[in-house]
Amino acid sequence: MTIALGSDHAAYLLRDHIAAHARARGFEVEIYGATGPEAYDYPDAADALVPKVLEGSATLGVLCCGTGIGITIRANRHHGIRAANCTCNVMASLARQHNDANILGLGARILSKERAVEIFDTFVDTQRSPEIRHLKRVEKIDAPIND
C-alpha cells in the first residue's frame, strides 16, 4: 500500500514522524508539501497530494496542518476526495467504515505525535463498510451539487 503524506510548515515534523512509522509498517510513502519551518501554505500541500489519491498512485492520503481543519477543507474541494479531520480513533474508524474516507486530516497543534500515530493506524487498518446504507450515502457525498 502506498500512503501519500502532505503538510504545511506547521505540521511537517508530525508528517515526517508518521511517514517514518508508515515505512516501519512496510508501507510505501510519498511526501508532499513543506520541507522545513519556512512558510508553506496548506492549500498548496493539499493540491499537491490530492491528485495522487485520485489517480490511484497512492492508496490513501494523510494531510497535516496546525489543526487539520484548513488542509482538510481544501482537499474536500476536489471531486472524489473524502477527507476527514480526525482527533480520535473512533472518528478515524467511522470515517473509513461509513464514509469511505480516502484522506486523513491531522492537526499538529491538536494531537501529540503518539496520538496521531494511533489515529493513523486505525485509519489505514479500517476498511469501508460493505453495508448498502453506507455505500448509498457515499454515492450521495460524491454526487455533484447543483447550486
Q: Which residues are catalytic?
A: 65, 98
**CB contact at 8 A, 99 and 56:** no
Strand partners, 85: 105
List helix spans (H) across 41-129.
42-55, 69-75, 89-99, 113-125
Return phi, psi of residue 36, to 5°.
Answer: -170, -165
| CB proximity list for 56: less than 8 A, separation 6 or greater | none
**How big is the chain by its Cα radius of gyration, in Å?**
14
Angle ∠(40,95,67) on CA atoms, nearest 5: 30
Q: Which residues pair with 31 in a beta bridge?
A: 5
